[in-house]
Structure 1
Amino acid sequence: MPRPVVGIIGNMSLLNDQYPAHSGGTMNSCAVAQAAGCLPLIIPADPRLVTVEELLSVCDGFLLTGGRPNVHPEEYGEAATEAHGAFDRCRDAITLPLIRACVDRGQPFLGVCRGFQEVNVAMGGTLDPEIRDLPGRMNHRMPPDGTLEEKFALRHPVRFTEGGVFHRLLGAGEVMTNSLHGQGIKAPGARVVIDGTAPDGTPEAIYIAGAIGFTLSVQWHPEWNATADPVSRPLFEAFGDAVRAWAETRHAPQRATA
């Protein structure tokens, strides 16, 4: 059987400041191929080009990636302000219904950073536009200067619920993670379980209660150094196992009925 396909949600970008492109970070593809053991397929997240139904049919699972644009606050009933930053309404139009469909079908997804926030919004939750402006909160944003190694360096611990999903998967009650985000969960959506938090109380790890498929999502970036990092690798391995299980069930020969 060929490797199962993981659709990697792409982001709009401009090459040389003028040529529009749908792109995905190399580290996302490497994490899917090398740590999860699946076939990476970058998706142009634009409803003019693809439909949710087509993606569910072509892909076995989905990696909801990070991205500079944020989920538009109208998606959770709030007005846009300067603090909300840039948006990508085309991506919103694909990922939000895709997440809900995956939850209903049991089709696996892994949410990362913006993808983590998309999962919360898709389930009816809300976001804070700028965490560092809230009383008692840390600055979770990416360092503005330095090498990639410095920007993706471990920044703060995340503590998991004792005996919870992440605790069991990672074999630790607390892990160190990188931090490269400005927004975060304000109110969790329906069935969204906050299973890990930063020291300042910012939600960092979630899953969907009662979902029959893999729905783990994290606010940090586990795709960085995914094959070697002791936190990232088991997360992607578990995701890959879930995708393979889905693919095997979907492609299993149907037994004839009399």
Structure 2
Amino acid sequence: MARPVVGIIGNSYIMNDQYPTHAGGTMNSDAVANVSGCLPLLIPADPRYVSVDELLDVCDGFLLTGGRPNVHPEEYGESATDAHGDFDRARDAITLPLVRACVDRGQPFMGICRGFQEVNVAMGGTLYPEIRDLPGRMNHRMPPDGTLEEKFALRHVVRLADEGVFHQVFKASEVMTNTLHGQGLKTVGQRVVVDGHAPDGTPEAIYIKDAPGFTLSVQWHPEWDAINDPVSRPLFEAFGAAVRGWAAGSDTQLIQQSA
């Protein structure tokens, strides 16, 4: 039986300082294939090559990945500053309407890091350009040095709402996560429910209230060692179950998202 297809949103890079590419981290494909049980399909997130309607027809679900470029602040009514970093307007043009379409259709998606921020912006929310500059906030950025294992190491607790959606997935009120982001949620978008926070109050886990499909998104990077990590594995398993349900034409919600 054919596996359902998860479209993995790719990022634009210049390889060897001159060759334009679309790329995606292999850990995303590994998590989708080996934990979610779906077929990973890398998407060139650029409206010159794909349309949202085509993606909705070809894919059963979507993984909105992390990426170094940030959502352009014009997408939430603000002007760009040096603190906002680099941008990828082509990706913005695909992912933001894709999120809204998936919410309306009930088509499953999961957001990670930049993807988490895209979900908030798509629903009308805004972002802080640099979390570590805010009073009382910790530095959530990736450590500048060390091995991948050290950079993706677990660094802080995320506290989850009692009996909330993520509590149902993890069977716990607190989980340990990595942290590799500079930006974060400022104002929360319409119907966006913040279901988990870091100790400094930074939103870390969200879903869309009353959405007919899977919309769970996280600020950390659960794709790292997803097959072994006790937090990442149930999240990708729940996502895979939702994608299989969509592919099979089921309207049964595996996770209630109306809290």
Identify the residue that residue 17 of structure 1 maps to in structure 2. 17
TM-score of the two chains, using structure 2 as the length reference: 0.96
The answer for the alignment partner of 2:253 in structure 1 is none
CA offsets 1:145-166 (integer angstroms, 9 cap, x no match): 0000000000000000011000
CA distance in 1, matches of 2:142, 2:27: 17
SS of the equivalent of 1:103 reads: helix
Q: For residues 231 and 78 of structure 1, what CA distance do their matches in structure 2 show?
A: 35
Deviations 1:13-58 (A, max 9, x none): 1111111000000000000000100000000000010000000000
> C-alpha separation between the residues in 2 aligned to 1:163 and 1:55?
34
Query: Percent identical across equivalent pairs?
Result: 79
> Residue in 1 aligned with 2:93?
93
Letter aligned with residue 243 of structure 1? V
**Matches for 1:240-255 after TM superposition, within 5 Å:** 240-249=240-249
**1:132 aligned partner:** 132
Where does 1:12-161 land on structure 2 (aligned, <5 Å)?
12-161=12-161
Name the SS of the counterpart of 1:104 in structure 2: helix
Alignment partners' CA distance in 1, 2:31 and 2:167: 21
CA deviation map 1:138-185 (0-9, x unaligned): 000000000000000000000000110001110000000000000000
TM alignment of 1:98-247, pairs within 5 A: 98-247=98-247
One-letter amino acid matched to 2:150: E
Structure 2 CA distance for aligned equivalents of residues 41 and 140 of structure 1 = 29
Larger Rg: 1
Unmatched tracts of structure 2, length 5 or more: 251-259
| Structure 1 gap ranges (5+) | 251-258
Number of residue equivalences: 250
In 2: Cα distance, 1:22 partner to 1:165 partner = 33
Distance 2:114 2:17 in 1: 23
Aligned to 1:187, the other structure's residue is in SS state: coil
TM-score, with normalisation over the residues of structure 1?
0.96
